[in-house]
């Protein structure tokens, strides 16, 4: 049996955005779309030519139907999406402009995924065909029912030899650091590829720092090396962003691994049309690169950064760019990665 499918588990939500950069207070109507961390990653990977499948629970009504159509429309398989309950998670996005930053307001406390049960997914059926599984910390924040299913997925990955990537994506609007710590620590033993920064590793995983006054780069390398020495994590990827204003940012990326540490050669400055989903696009680009060649983090690093920057230039949470389009962006911007 060919194992070539990328699977993810998480929540897909209804996104409501006031049009034309207006605020929620000004809004008299909203533009509707769908998005969510792991779902965004799969949509991007589907457009990059990968077989993908999303696991979640959605209400058995028109909103759930529309979310499924969104996924199917982007080539993401939904055969094992659980249907039931009555509410879909929602989030409101105020798109930032100039000196006014973007804002996100969640309304997802009693959504369908929080009612999911462990026995509603056939894990062996799903993961015997999978080569990669992606999860984020946002999903872990959604309650004990969701966490039980997430760890069932991780156990199935271990059983079937599936590579696991995990994006910290800590959200203070969903839970506190103290609430998050034990669950993030419990995930790490399953993870091969980690998306994190020095704050995540030092504060949430509580990995000690020898020199707390060191530069961010030095802290990140030290913490990553300590983490990799005590786990199966092979790669730590992340981005560093400089915000000039809400619609003008610079971005660079880094990778820390056993054989060397890489960074993109200088930040790329770009204009932003819609910032939501940039981190998910970075993760999808990195995963794409590693699926093509797991031993070439330099390519994955460049491809992840380019995917993220391009996603910022279109509306919505998801990157719909092809591999060719992203490679052309890399070639035209001199987005080289160098070992340090």
**Residue 204, C-beta contacts closer than 8 angstroms, at least 6 positions apart:** 168, 170, 177, 180, 181, 184
Question: Looking at 152-272, which runs of residues are DSSP E strands?
Answer: 163-167, 193-195, 235-245, 248-257, 260-264, 268-271
Would you say residue 84 lies in a domain? Answer: no
User: What does the pLDDT look like over 203-240, one tens digit per residue?
Assistant: 999 999 988 778 888 899 999 999 999 999 999 999 99
Q: Which residues pair with 106 in a beta bridge?
A: 91
Would you say residue 129 lies in a domain? Answer: yes
With H, G, I as helix, E, B as strand and everything else as coil, classify residue 212: coil
How many CB atoms are closer than 10 A to CB 79? 9
pLDDT band at 133 (very low <50, low <70, confident <90, very high): very high
Determine the pLDDT at residue 258: 85
Among residues 259, 215, 212, 214, the alpha carbon closest in space to that of 236 is found at: 259
CB 242 within 8 A of CB 267: yes
**Predicted model pTM:** 0.95
CATH code of 242's domain: 3.40.1190.20
Would you say residue 87 lies in a domain? Answer: no
Would you say residue 109 lies in a domain? Answer: no
Instruction: Work out the average pLDDT over 261-286.
Output: 93
> Does the CA dihedral 77-57-154-15 come out positive or negative?
positive
Please count the structural domains in the chain.
1
Range of the domain at 205: 38-53+119-339
Instruction: Work out the average pLDDT over 172-187.
Output: 96
Determine the pLDDT at residue 232: 97
pLDDT band at 259 (very low <50, low <70, confident <90, very high): confident
Share of the chain above pLDDT 70, in %: 98
Instruction: Work out the average pLDDT over 78-88.
Output: 96
pLDDT band at 336 (very low <50, low <70, confident <90, very high): low
Would you say residue 90 lies in a domain? Answer: no
Residue whose tokens read 């800590």: 170
Determine the pLDDT at residue 334: 67
Would you say residue 312 lies in a domain? Answer: yes
Would you say residue 79 lies in a domain? Answer: no
Determine the pLDDT at residue 339: 59
Determine the pLDDT at residue 123: 98
Determine the pLDDT at residue 213: 78
Q: C-alpha 296: how far from its chain's center?
A: 20
Q: C-alpha 271: how far from its chain's center?
A: 21
Among residues 270, 293, 282, the alpha carbon closest in space to that of 321 is found at: 282
pLDDT at 45 over 70: yes
Instruction: Work out the average pLDDT over 164-179.
Output: 96
> Does the CA dihedral 34-238-264-251 come out positive or negative?
positive
Taken as a whole, the chain contains a residue count of: 340
**φ, ψ (nearest 5 deg) of residue 248:** -145, 105
> Does the CA dihedral 223-228-230-231 come out positive or negative?
positive
For residues 314 and 75, what is the distance between their CA atoms, to the nearest angstrom?
19
For residues 170 and 268, what is the distance between their CA atoms, to the nearest angstrom?
25
Q: C-alpha 76: how far from its chain's center?
A: 16
Q: Which two tokens stand for residue 22?
A: 């207006």
Instruction: Work out the average pLDDT over 91-104.
Output: 92
Share of the chain above pLDDT 90, in %: 89
Q: Which two tokens stand for residue 324?
A: 């060719």
> Does the CA dihedral 201-299-73-51 come out positive or negative?
negative
Would you say residue 300 lies in a domain? Answer: yes
Among residues 148, 97, 103, 116, the alpha carbon closest in space to that of 12 is found at: 116
pLDDT at 340 over 60: no
How many CB atoms are closer than 10 A to CB 193? 25
């Amino acid at each position: 049996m060919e194992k070539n499918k990328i699977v993810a588990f998480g929540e897909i939500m209804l996104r409501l955005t006031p049009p034309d950069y207006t605020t929620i207070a000004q809004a008299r109507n909203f533009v509707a779309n769908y998005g969510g961390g792991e779902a965004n990653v799969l949509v991007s990977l589907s457009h990059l030519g990968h077989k993908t499948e999303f696991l979640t629970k959605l209400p058995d009504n028109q909103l759930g139907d529309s979310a499924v159509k969104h996924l199917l429309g982007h080539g993401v398989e939904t055969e094992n999406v659980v249907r039931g309950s009555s509410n879909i998670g929602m989030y409101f996005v105020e798109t930032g402009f100039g000196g006014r930053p973007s804002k996100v307001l969640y309304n997802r406390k009693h959504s369908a995924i929080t009612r999911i049960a462990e026995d509603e997914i056939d894990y062996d059926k799903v993961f015997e065909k999978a080569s990669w599984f992606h999860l984020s910390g946002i999903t872990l924040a959604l309650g004990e029912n969701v966490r039980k299913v997430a760890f069932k997925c991780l156990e199935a990955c271990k059983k079937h030899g599936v590579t696991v990537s995990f994006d910290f994506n800590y959200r203070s609007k969903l839970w506190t650091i103290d609430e998050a710590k034990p669950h993030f620590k419990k995930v790490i033993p399953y993870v091969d590829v980690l998306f994190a920064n020095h704050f995540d590793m030092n504060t949430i995983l509580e990995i000690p720092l020898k020199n707390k006054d060191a530069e961010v780069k030095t802290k990140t390398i030290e913490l990553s090396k300590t983490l990799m020495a005590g786990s199966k994590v092979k790669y730590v990827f992340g981005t560093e962003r400089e915000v000039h204003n809400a619609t003008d940012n610079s971005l660079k990326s880094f990778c820390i691994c056993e054989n060397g540490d890489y960074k993109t050669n200088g930040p790329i400055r770009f204009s932003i049309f819609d910032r939501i989903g940039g981190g998910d696009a970075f993760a999808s680009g990195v995963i794409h690169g590693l699926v093509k060649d797991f031993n070439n983090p330099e390519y994955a690093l460049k491809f992840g950064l380019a995917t993220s920057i391009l996603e910022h230039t279109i509306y919505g949470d998801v990157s719909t760019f092809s591999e060719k389009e992203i490679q052309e962006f890399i070639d035209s911007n001199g987005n080289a990665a160098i070992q340090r």
